[in-house]
Structure 1
Amino acid sequence: MIRDTLPGVRRLISSRWVRLALAAAVTAVVVVAVLRLRRAPAGSEVRVSPRTPPSPRGAAGSDAVPGRETPVGAGPAGHPGGPPAAEAPAARKEVIRRRVVRWGSVVIALCVLVFATRAVERAVFSEETVPVAERFEEPPAPSATSADSSAAPSADSSGTAAEEDCRPGTETPAVREVDPRVTRAVNRQWRRIERWLEANAPRTHRTLSPPARARTIAIAEAQMGLRFPGDLRASLLRHNGSVLNKGSGLTIFLYEAMNVRDIRDTWRRLCGIGAGDRIGPRVGSWEGRMIPVGADGSGNHLVVDSIRRDVGRTGDEGETSFELGGVRIPSYHALLRMTADALERGGTVGQWRPVVDGGTLSWETVRN
């Protein structure tokens, strides 16, 4: 429940000035509380008793004898020890000690508060820049040679490799946690996209789906016999694709964002087509190691390599390419980041430029 509300809190408290104001308010409250707790009750401090004036000469009860000097150190009756002048330095030291303890406690409390506030800000509200988020989670991806040789058997025209790649999984579904750093990095890019869509393409913004369930993702992984990369899972846990509404759904370049069920069903359908004329790993037609994440409605798909985790496309004629518009995209997080950059800056990603018509986002092809 708390985890589900954090994205809303982050969007609400997105301004650094608002966070600083909240931190200042909390600091003031803590300082006042510490001062009140450390303040001694009235009259608790040791007060210096005024020196008792000597009794008037000849007054009743006086031991002084007229015509006789009073011995040094002797005092009036009832005060054989003389005046309490020696108590004054001790009382002053006690007052100073209490003040030092009081203000020392305030300083320590402020230091603890500063460090705690900074830690909370980094953990909850930080929008850290993660230049290589695709390397965060899970064991390092195998090299191109080892990954291709171990994950995809050699192909021939009979389609044997496609059958191996597309063999349904037999594992029991198991929910895997996403690295928190990956989640923060992906959510940061989604916040940028969401803010831009809300301000410039509200119809498309309304088509963003609620989060997918982690259990649903685990079931799809088990049925496909694949593992979704961490940044893809984090994205689906933010938005489970887009709800198509008269062509106004979210498109990344020319591809409609797909939900978990569509990903699984499209993977099964493409696996049923076979390998065709594939001549090697990632060369030629469809491979079962690919995860379709977007579709343009004409038989072309945006895909993520489940092993190398980079983003590519498969065409309606069976070709596969991992350069989108002449640009290599190393991860799904990088795809989101490039999309957010293009939206905010009005730029391009490869050969595509975002345009808005009637509150709906679309992409146009830029000719060089």
Structure 2
Amino acid sequence: MDVVRESWRRIERWIASEPALPPVEEMFNPPAALTEIDAAERALGHSFPASYRASLLVHDGQIETGYVPHEWLPNGMYLLTLRETVALWREERAAETRFGNEGDFEGMEEDTGESDRVRDFPTVTAAGRLPMAQNEGISYMYLDLVPGPAGNRGQVIYTRDECSFSVAGSDFADFLSRYADLLERGEARYDAESYDAVVPTDEQATWEDLLCG
């Protein structure tokens, strides 16, 4: 999809303009091979939405550097590789199998104002939610393949706290384009001193204000 490739080019230009960030080729992996994408889909039991598949054909997540990759996504998140997506999805399924019938997840039901778009499950994880970004177990971004009745299959959702979601885009192309807009307009900036992450430029604003308003 041309719109995905163009959004990536815009983000790459923004990264190149940030002196605190390394060159793009040191932050992001090269494209995933079609065979790798097909294998990941088989492992997950789901086909990727077209816009996310197009993104994988530009960059297969961020480069593993031995420490936390640069947190350039909302809420200090970084983009997972295909391998990491499959591994984290499997960890979530294993946790559900281990604890789901023992009541350990009680109290983890979603309490969200977007319940018409994000389906309510007993836990925030679900087999139809594919993890694509994270912040070291603090926050997550998913491709939502099991949306609520007013949502879109393949919408991008992220945890705004431990048990509720916000919708950041109707699909990955929509999210990436709107996020590139925020970066180019200066409504979000990379704060190397306090956070080592991208934050809203207006200290009174939240990511919900920027992405969901």
- What is the TM-score with the length of structure 2 in the denominator? 0.72
Measure how far apart 1:191 and its partner are. Answer: 0.7
Q: 1-side partners of 2:23 and 2:88: how far apart? A: 23
Structure 1's 340 and 186: CA in aligned 2 closer, same or farther, altered over 3 A?
Answer: same
Q: Secondary structure at the match of 1:282?
A: coil
Between Structure 1 and Structure 2, whose CA radius of gyration is higher? 1
Q: 1-side partners of 2:138 and 2:185: how far apart? A: 30
Q: Is it true that 1:283 corresponds to 2:120 in the alignment?
A: yes
The equivalent residue for 1:300 is 139
Q: 1-side partners of 2:23 and 2:90: how far apart? A: 28
Measure how far apart 1:252 and its partner are. Answer: 1.3
Q: Is it true that 1:208 corresponds to 2:28 in the alignment?
A: yes
Q: Is it true that 1:243 corresponds to 2:87 in the alignment?
A: no
Gaps (5+ residues) in structure 2? 111-117, 147-152, 206-213
Structure 1's 251 and 320: CA in aligned 2 closer, same or farther, altered over 3 A?
Answer: same
Q: Which residue identity lines up with residue 236 of structure 1 in the other structure? A: L
Q: Secondary structure at the match of 1:251?
A: coil
- Of the two structures, which has the highest relative contact order with CA contacts closer than 8 Å and spacing of 6 or more? 2
Do 2:62 and 2:69's aligned partners in 1 also have CA atoms closer than 8 Å?
Answer: no
Q: 2-side partners of 1:267 and 1:297: how far apart? A: 14
- The number of residue pairs the alignment matches comes to 175
Q: Is it true that 1:193 corresponds to 2:28 in the alignment?
A: no
| Pairing partner for 1:270 from 80, 84, 92 | 92
Gaps (5+ residues) in structure 1? 1-182, 348-352
Summarize deviations over 1:48-92 as a string: whole Å, max 9, x none: xxxxxxxxxxxxxxxxxxxxxxxxxxxxxxxxxxxxxxxxxxxxx
Q: Is it true that 1:229 corresponds to 2:74 in the alignment?
A: no
Q: Is it true that 1:367 corresponds to 2:204 in the alignment?
A: yes
| Pairing partner for 2:184 from 339, 344, 347 | 344
Summarize deviations over 1:136-191 as a string: whole Å, max 9, x none: xxxxxxxxxxxxxxxxxxxxxxxxxxxxxxxxxxxxxxxxxxxxxxx211001001
Q: Secondary structure at the match of 1:304?
A: strand
| Pairing partner for 1:252 from 62, 65, 73 | 73
The equivalent residue for 2:157 is 312
Q: 2-side partners of 1:310 and 1:270: how far apart? A: 20
Do 2:69 and 2:78's aligned partners in 1 also have CA atoms closer than 8 Å?
Answer: no
| Bigger share in helix | 1
Summarize deviations over 1:3-54 as a string: whole Å, max 9, x none: xxxxxxxxxxxxxxxxxxxxxxxxxxxxxxxxxxxxxxxxxxxxxxxxxxxx
| Bigger share in strand | 2
Summarize deviations over 1:294-319 as a string: whole Å, max 9, x none: 010034211011251111124784x2
Q: 2-side partners of 1:361 and 1:334: how far apart? A: 25
Q: Secondary structure at the match of 1:363?
A: strand
Q: 1-side partners of 2:80 and 2:63: how far apart? A: 9
- What is the TM-score with the length of structure 1 in the denominator? 0.43
Do 1:204 and 1:361's aligned partners in 2 also have CA atoms closer than 8 Å?
Answer: no
The equivalent residue for 1:355 is 190
